[in-house]
Structure 1
């Protein structure tokens, strides 16, 4: 029996973000307005809180830019700036993208008939269960516990190279270092882990939907039996993928510019990161593969039988010159001539069991690869390359 909550779920109200414990906390302290979500405001506030005190304290200590006695200024720690000014705002703004995208593909399940009227109660129960999971405090307790543990570990054994710009002397930490370890890094860590939890929620949701008896159409022109609209899903976490890649690329860039680490020596790490991010991006869509494989196998058998019956009827009438009176299959307008029914079979045969296409690959691979390509490009001889291009063109 469905709960009252599940009966009242509307696609437009469905969200991976809204009303989770972190969202409610931000609303309670005024970061999220009563009317609206305040994505832009929060992105600016979090970025400035994480970054501005570092710049001010570094400026007061005279360690913002490279100078005599300052081998590694704050400006050279690219990973810190990327984390504060790129990754943190992106992880906040990604919530708005999720708010707009998630209801769209949830609505498509109903609008396209994948969820029949008889299956609507099951579908709504799946949504209700996901909303119940979203509201639970335990995942956020785990997130806070992980962040506190990481912070304590970094405080006990800080990476001196990472906070050298703060002007720390001997074994004591300057204010800028404390701020970075106790505020900047935890803000990023909370937002990062929050998105990992949301991706897990999304995966659970899609996994449970994939277990429902969806009304798939094997001959659908999208080649995914009518599930082609799911190519929007990577939009939800593309900013997350870009943020992770950018932070890692920024940290590696510091090692390249200030510690003479050759970029080729990082290729294995870059490739590993790229593979992991692409796998994370594709994983939510792979839950439909068993269903699509089964649907394709069944459809090939069914349409094979249909094509055989149709072919025998055509052969009997036109080759054997037999009288085949009022044979409905030969006159069915939805089947048409032999060429049309063969096209139906070919459309079934071309059905893909894995939801991957160029659009999906672009939404996942480009955000993951772009920061890494920028790092690799820093090693190109730009001046000579431009000179050769101009010489070739002119």
Structure 2
């Protein structure tokens, strides 16, 4: 079980290719080396080719409306930020997901009698992870569009840019379309494949058989750690937000688009990406609803019995009884209050193992890349003045 991993670097076809190339020998800083390698492979040829063609940076001699590489914030956001982010965050996500699987096997969420079923499930998912076919499909989906002769897309419709030389694609545009974009697309597809594997675990987990405890203090039947584990896929939302922010920045600077006009797209992306990432947790909702409903039935009956016994014994309230006993001389009231606290905890149990902080941990990475757009839409002085006006 300890060898079970979710990683972009371990398991599958890509892992075998990295192992064959000797890249895995640098295990200490593997993600850093891979990020630098992919960044150099994707971006450095673009810099050299556009410098040779005179389209690296804006110049007075350039045609009006022409977009140089260093003024193409969409491309820079994709290659300089999103691509390294997906590589550098993979090892940390891998370690935390591995911890969640370890917690799943050690927290008695699955009864010991059904532990072999859980072992079989994890073995099945590990076999899927190590299969060459899914990642071969990812490679095909990443590189096939460009290598099949698909036309090079411009930065913005109606504007000339560094990706073209006249009416035909430039050398830099061809490299961007055939190498840089497919590399980024491959990383995204690999992340989504790992996300699907994790979804498979959550989908099959109720079939294994969960031993849930609605009175658990985490208010999720003992499954709150799965909500924290889901946050490990927030780099997907962050990478998408970075790419959208770059595209929106191009529209604002080169097409006079306003931030107000983009508000629906921004809100739609933040909400949609958050819902997509929490969707696998909904697979656990039926089991949690069932456990909560039956626990409430049991605690309702127990509460009625406890209230009846308490009322019969202390019907006289706080007055001293004939035998001299008083409510203050016994722990009945304390026990009754403790039972009330347990019942309130069961009533407040969440039917999805997701807290508001987990939700924020998924939504903020999608929203944070959009915040620099505020600095383009208004000056720093205007932004500070508006904020002070809201706080005053």
Normalised to the residue count of structure 1, the TM-score between the two structures is: 0.86
Q: How does 1:14-93 map to 2 (within 5 A)?
A: 14-17=4-7, 18-33=10-25, 35=27, 38-70=30-62, 71-93=66-88
**Residues 387 and 225 of structure 1: is their aligned pair in 2 closer, same or farther, counting only changes over 3 Å?**
closer
Partners of 1:91 and 1:192 within 8 A in 2: yes
Question: How many residues end up aligned between the 2 structures?
Answer: 371
**Residues 272 and 52 of structure 1: is their aligned pair in 2 closer, same or farther, counting only changes over 3 Å?**
same
Offset at residue 341 of structure 1 (A): 1.5
Partners of 1:219 and 1:348 within 8 A in 2: yes
Offset at residue 380 of structure 1 (A): 1.9
**Residues 255 and 297 of structure 1: is their aligned pair in 2 closer, same or farther, counting only changes over 3 Å?**
same
Partners of 2:152 and 2:169 within 8 A in 1: no
Distance 1:275 1:337 in 2: 44
Secondary structure of 2:351's aligned partner: coil
Partners of 1:64 and 1:74 within 8 A in 2: yes
Partner of 1:350: 348
Partners of 2:118 and 2:205 within 8 A in 1: yes
**Residues 388 and 138 of structure 1: is their aligned pair in 2 closer, same or farther, counting only changes over 3 Å?**
closer
Partners of 2:152 and 2:173 within 8 A in 1: no
Distance 2:90 2:332 in 1: 45
146, 152, 175: which is aligned to 2:141?
A: 146
**Residues 94 and 385 of structure 1: is their aligned pair in 2 closer, same or farther, counting only changes over 3 Å?**
closer
Partner of 2:379: 381
Which deviates further from its counterpart, 31-40 or 104-113? Answer: 31-40
**Residues 16 and 334 of structure 1: is their aligned pair in 2 closer, same or farther, counting only changes over 3 Å?**
farther
Q: How does 1:120-131 map to 2 (within 5 A)?
A: 120-131=115-126
Partner of 1:108: 103
Distance 1:230 1:383 in 2: 43
Distance 2:117 2:240 in 1: 36
Partner of 1:158: 152
**Residues 390 and 160 of structure 1: is their aligned pair in 2 closer, same or farther, counting only changes over 3 Å?**
closer
Superposed CA deviations along residues 105-155 of structure 1, whole A, max 9, x for unmatched, are 1121233221222121011011001001112222223223322342257x4
Partner of 2:222: 226
Distance 1:334 1:311 in 2: 11
Partner of 1:290: 286
**Residues 361 and 391 of structure 1: is their aligned pair in 2 closer, same or farther, counting only changes over 3 Å?**
closer
Normalised to the residue count of structure 2, the TM-score between the two structures is: 0.87
Partners of 1:61 and 1:167 within 8 A in 2: no
Partners of 2:154 and 2:161 within 8 A in 1: no
Offset at residue 34 of structure 1 (A): 6.7
Partner of 1:7: none
Offset at residue 190 of structure 1 (A): 0.7
Partners of 2:224 and 2:354 within 8 A in 1: no
Distance 2:387 2:301 in 1: 60
Distance 2:248 2:19 in 1: 36
Offset at residue 334 of structure 1 (A): 12
Offset at residue 384 of structure 1 (A): 3.8
Partner of 1:6: none
Partner of 1:318: 314
Partners of 1:64 and 1:165 within 8 A in 2: no
Partners of 1:256 and 1:263 within 8 A in 2: yes
Distance 2:301 2:90 in 1: 49
Secondary structure of 2:168's aligned partner: coil
**Residues 257 and 392 of structure 1: is their aligned pair in 2 closer, same or farther, counting only changes over 3 Å?**
closer
Gaps of 5+ in 1: 1-9, 322-332
